[in-house]
Amino acid sequence: MTVSCRGRLSKMGKLNFAAFVSTTLVFVLLQFRSVRGDITDGNAEHLKREHSLMKPYQGVGSSPSSQWDFWGSTLVTSSYIRLTPDERSKQGSIWNTVPCYLKDWEMHVQFKVHGSGKKNLHGDGIAIWYTKDRLHPGPVFGNQDHFVGLAIFLDTFRNDLHGMDRSFPYISAMVNNGTVGYDHGKDGRSSELGGCSAEIRNREHDTYLAIRYSKGRLTIMVDVDDKNEWKECIDIAGVRLPTGYYFGASAATGDLSDNHDIISMKLYQLMVEHTAEEENLDWTKIEPSVNLLKSPKDNIDDPTGNFRGTTLTGWKVFLLLLCSLLGIVVCAVVGAVVFQKRQERNKRFY
């Protein structure tokens, strides 16, 4: 009778253990889903036309009612906005005239970089801006250096011949409070927050870039392989950006050249809840900054060009939780085996 009870208890223990494992797995998967869910989920997004640039590009010009203004070699057509032609020493830009007061937003940019130059004989690239000032020409892809705000660089030409660990074109992000200069000689490596390589030049299909800023998290994604899906490029937490800045795009050519075209820039408002403390902040007074364990200047010595101190991405969190769960399961199984062996050994003395 005793043996029978123990058998039932053993079975019940196994069932409880199996239930525990199943419940934990479900919890981990739900946690993973929630982590991945805040990356361009496509829900609760609202197009803000006053900050968007779309065909046939109405509202572009220098009149007081215009929402977009342009400078330099920029050419506006009915199909595209060409920031630079495939000619040497050109600069052009286009800027939203309406400051953006959204706390959480996502910008989708359709662009095209193409030209007659062969491999490694083209340049220089496009930059997408969210900055305090606008229409200030300069040496950084057609815009001013020591800017204040956020810049996303689509760099098509390698200047640093020692940085052979990455391939070009290369997409990177930089947040600046006006005190840091962009180092062209090092392709901006000393001040970048992270980046990725992407084949964006002379593609026969549409190419897209997405920039999302929500609750202090900056995420950059690309869709350049004609798969109609986003691929993560940069994902960094601890980014502080104020409201009231301007969106823009610029491009430049040097001794080498390319056509740099903007097809559209669409800004979406993200419907995100904030705490009462966050709502009471004066977001226009925030200084652009990034809370990292590592200074951007330390990035010079990092051959990967990325920060080790950044927050874990969704896949890393999932793998970490999964490894933790497997460790618990292994420990539980080993403990059960050891306990059973001890029970069998004790039976011999009865």
Q: What's 280's domain CATH number?
A: 2.60.120.200
**Who wins on pLDDT, 219 or 345?**
219
Per the CB < 8 A criterion, the answer to whether 80 and 261 are in contact is: yes
Q: Give 101-129 pLDDT, tens digit per residue.
A: 999 999 999 999 999 988 778 899 999 99
Within a domain: 156:
yes
Within a domain: 212:
yes
Q: Which of 214, 210, 249 is nearest to 131 (CA)?
A: 249
Within a domain: 28:
no
Within a domain: 185:
yes
Q: Percentage of residues in the chain with pLDDT exceeding 70?
A: 75
The rounded radius of gyration (Å) of the Cα atoms in the chain is 26
- pLDDT for 329 equals 81
Distance of CA 241 to the CA centre of its chain: 14
pTM over the 0.75 mark: no
**Residue 294 pLDDT more than 50?**
no
What CA–CA distance (Å, rounded) separates 205 from 231? 16
Within a domain: 174:
yes
**Contacts with 230 (C-beta within 8 Å, 6 or more apart), sequence order:** 39, 40, 210, 221, 222, 223
Task: Tell me how many domains the chain contains.
Answer: 1
Within a domain: 78:
yes
Give CB contacts under 8 A, 24+ apart, made by 339-347: none
**Residue 305 pLDDT more than 60?**
no
Q: Give 187-239 pLDDT, tens digit per residue.
A: 999 999 999 999 999 999 999 999 999 999 999 999 999 999 999 999 999 99
**Contacts with 293 (C-beta within 8 Å, 6 or more apart), sequence order:** 307, 308, 309
Q: Give 68-104 pLDDT, tens digit per residue.
A: 999 999 999 999 999 999 999 999 999 999 999 999 9
* CA-based torsion, 47, 82, 90, 86: positive or negative: positive
